[in-house]
Amino acid sequence: MKHKLFGFCFTFILCFALFTTNSEAQLRSQGKVVEFEDPNAPGASLRQGPTVDYAEEMRRLIQNIARYGRKFKPNFLVLVKDAKGLMTQIVDVDQLVYAPSSVYLKSIDGIIEPNLSFGKEGFGIPTKEKDQKEALEQLKVANELGLKVFTLDYASKPVDIDKALRFAMRHKFIPYVAPGQGFMNNALPNWPRRPLHENSHTISNIQLVKNYLLIEDSSRMGSAEEYAMKIHNTNYDLIATNVFHRRSETLGRHNVRTMQFKKLGSRRPVLATLNVGMANVGAYYWKDDWRQNNPAFILEQAPLSADLHLVQYWNPGWHQVLYGNTMSFIYGIIKEGFDGVVIEGANVYEIFANPQ
């Protein structure tokens, strides 16, 4: 039986334009006056919004999502995937001095770092030592602040999996090595046979998590009920999954509940994945008449994708899709029983900040 996420379909309220024609109006970013780009000017990009601090706009969006979720669930968990650069911000423009973004870091519970050992250049391909060292330097910030760091590598050979696991644990990270990349991450791993540090503890907070599982596409794992039982029959401490099992079919509240209990019987959190930086043409919220620049926050196709569009993630219209009302994504996943969210697509701020 298909379970549709009742209340996920809604009418968007188009927002006011983010630019002004008043020549005296000013916007400040990092203490400097910035200008609005004329969207009708030759060569103007549809990506280009007000020249603001794109990283700060993404931090603000994530903070708002966390705040909204915790209105309904005080322990609503927020993990951010592949956006470690958001952890620090410039505090001195002239000297390029960076410092931890304390407000942002206090609003999230952890970060997921993909491709630390395998996958950056393709499935099963080792990550270059230079890239690995650069990532570790940034991840030190999270460690020093007590933020939980999860790693997500992509490999299938036991020798490679063991190497990735050992490397992550050496740095006190929580590792997972997926058997496929992207939508091919659609099955339970064959190795190791059991979760690392498997335990019977109830996971009441993020600090108790010793292992985790992330499934990006569950559609090949049987019906929603069969998928939920396969997850139930594992002892991972934390589960992250797409809220939709097949297109508009959600997992359903009772299946989420099934997944929230380990095979050993103890309770664990189940998180839903959410892309905040791109809109999916096949998503429940996409309207038949939507196209580039209609509504205003839909931009051009994302790089290397036919189904995803970049969005003006700072636009209030896009925020209405994600949180803040009973028709929003976050409200929907809370009603479905999820314990939190894994934020994906947060790294698109880099595309806007560095359009070349």
Decide if 13 is inside a domain: no
pLDDT value for 38: 38
Question: Residue 17 gets which letter from DSSP?
Answer: P
Cis previous bond, 192, omega within 30: yes
- Above pLDDT 70, what percent of the chain? 83
Q: Give the whole-angstrom CA distance, residue 213 versus residue 88.
A: 27
**Boundary of a domain, candidates 36, 51, 66:** 51
Instruction: Please check whether residues 85 and 62 belong to one and the same domain.
Output: yes
| Domain match, 29 and 144 both | no
Q: How confident is the model at residue 291 (pLDDT cuts 50, 70, 90)?
A: very high
Pair 237, 342 in one domain: yes
**229 and 114 both lie in a single domain:** yes
**186 and 90 housed in the same domain:** yes
Burial class, 14, CB count within 10 angstroms (exposed 0-12 / middle 13-18 / buried 19+)? middle
The reply to whether 146 falls in a domain is yes
| Residue 67, in any domain of the structure | yes
Query: Amino acid identity, residue 304?
Result: L
Domain count, the chain: 2
- Could you tell me if 47 and 165 lie in one domain? no
- Please check whether residue 286 lies inside any domain of the structure: no
Q: Is residue 22 predicted with pLDDT exceeding 50? A: no
Residue 10 in any domain: the answer is no
- Read off the pLDDT of each residue in 257-268 and give the average, rounded to a whole number: 98
Q: Is the pLDDT of residue 97 over 70?
A: no
> Is 84 inside any structural domain?
yes
Measure the CA–CA gap between 144 and 249, rounded to whole angstroms. 41
106 and 170 part of one domain: yes
Q: Is pLDDT of 236 > 50? A: yes
pTM of the model: 0.85
Q: How confident is the model at residue 93 (pLDDT cuts 50, 70, 90)?
A: low
Residues across the chain: 356
CATH number at residue 87: 3.20.20
| 3-4/249-250 β-pairing | antiparallel
pLDDT of residue 50: 52
- Evaluate whether residue 8 is within a structural domain: no
Residue 302 lies in a domain: no
Regarding whether 335 and 202 lie in a shared domain, the answer is yes
Same domain, 36 and 64: no
pLDDT score at 44: 39
Q: Residue 38 sits in which domain range?
A: 20-51
The pLDDT of 289-308, averaged and rounded, is 91
Same domain, 61 and 43: no
Domain identity same for 31 and 85:
no
39 & 95 share domain:
no
Residue 9 has pLDDT above 90, yes or no: no
* Distance in Å from the first CA to the final CA of the chain: 48
**Distance set, CA 83 to CA 55, 77, 277 (Å):** 10, 17, 11
233: its two tokens: 């029959």
